[in-house]
A and B are shown apart, each in its own frame.
Chain A
Amino acid sequence: MILLVDLCGKAGSLSLHEFVEPVAGIVRRNGFSGQVRHHLRLTGADLSAAERIILCGTPLRDNAFAARPASFSWLQEARVPVLGICAGMQAVALAFGGALIPSQEIGMTEIRCTSPDPLLEGHDRFSAYELHGAGVVPPESFLVLAESDRCIQAIRHQDLPLYGILFHPEVRNEWVVERFLTLPWRTC
């Protein structure tokens, strides 16, 4: 089961249709079963049952998740692959001691890969859709995988299968989610 975590300020919000369902659609179309949970309603059972976890984005003005870093402390124990998208990347960074810096980008941006990694392999440069009000200062335990002119665009934990991407792959870069779903990874 792929666990899709909704980071919006409240559960079942109007933004669920915009930020969670498109990612859930990619999961479904690739033959996986997906389960959506709001980040404040996650249970141990949800996390135990998940084969992979995707933290979805939020609207530009919805940053309530960033004021609750403790609600993402479970990420430090996660031993299955995790992909944080936009707000999800911010949550991953905050959970490991990183920081957010104001940086608004809306629309298409050129991404450059800076370190090789199976997630983005074969796509040294590509255009991606951005919708964020902050970039991240990655935690020390994370590698930078890709950048744009203004922001760090992709990070990965040095030892764990934890990824963060700032762009929205559900728009024009579905391959990133598809690749994440099938990345080989052993369960610890």
Chain B
Amino acid sequence: MRLGVLFSGGKDSAYACWRAMQHEEVACLISVVSRNEESYMFHTPNIRWVPLQAEAADLPLVQGETEGREEAELGDLRQAIRLAMDRHGIEGVVSGALQSVYQASRIQRICAGMDLWCFNPLWHADPHRYLQDLITRGFRVVIAGVFSRPFDASWLGRGMDRETLRELEGIARTHRLTLTGEGGEYETFVLDAPFFRRRIVVQEATPEFRNDRGVYRIARAALGEK
């Protein structure tokens, strides 16, 4: 089955893409760029670098835009999926939804309305097992945004490795945060994945942090050999 993967550039959509590839054919990535930083569905730091990730993975990218108003952005997502159906003949959509009923049920409704299959291969995955597997399988992921205490500027740009996972587990316990960042506590950006033919090399990036919120803003990046 030919599938389109809803791709934000972060770890969850990249891992969902990799899982989908183990079972079906991923025909394209689909991303929707929101102009609203508070978008419920689509806003992630560094989404402008998704085209470079698609190039790294050697996959076509269907990119849509949205103003990011709560329900109107679903129409914009529908339009991007329609484009992916027309251009790449997809029969189903994959998302990296983990726990969010809000996100998953909206994607399910869109797919049902378009007669598409809907796959959420991370749905209610065990957070620790998932992140361990992500690291073990060679995903290279950096923290691209922090939006909650106790995260500080030192987390921005930090790699997701076993030590980071250990610290995240401590923080999740003491501050009642989700381990995966599902509650919006942190965002990630994928530099390399098992299905990337080349990796992303960050050439220039600036950590911006104020009022308990921060973003690792990538200014220049390029593809490098693996």
A residues with a Cβ closer than 8 A to B are: 12-15, 17-18, 21-22, 25, 59-62, 104, 106-108, 129, 131, 133, 170-172
Contacts and interface: CB of A to CB of B under 8 A. Distances in A.
Contact of A60 (B22, B101, B118, B123): B118
Interface in B58-102: 94, 101
Given A14-B20, A14-B23, A129 B119 contact: no
A14 B109 contact: no
B119 A14 contact: yes
Looking at chain B, what size class is its interface with the partner chain?
20 to 34
A170 B124 contact: yes
B126 A106 contact: no
Given A14-B23, A59-B117, A106-B108, A129 B101 contact: yes
A59 B105 CA distance: 12
B205 interface: no
B118 A59 contact: yes
B118 A13 contact: no
The 6 A-B pairs of least Cβ separation, nearest first, read A22-B124, A107-B105, A14-B23, A17-B121, A18-B123, A106-B108
Contact of B119 (A12, A18, A107): A18
Nearest to A170: B124
Nearest to A15: B119
27 contacts: A13-B23, A14-B19, A14-B23, A14-B24, A14-B119, A17-B19, A17-B121, A17-B125, A18-B120, A18-B123, A21-B125, A22-B123, A22-B124, A22-B125, A25-B124, A25-B125, A60-B118, A61-B117, A62-B117, A106-B105, A106-B108, A107-B101, A107-B109, A108-B101, A108-B105, A131-B105, A171-B124
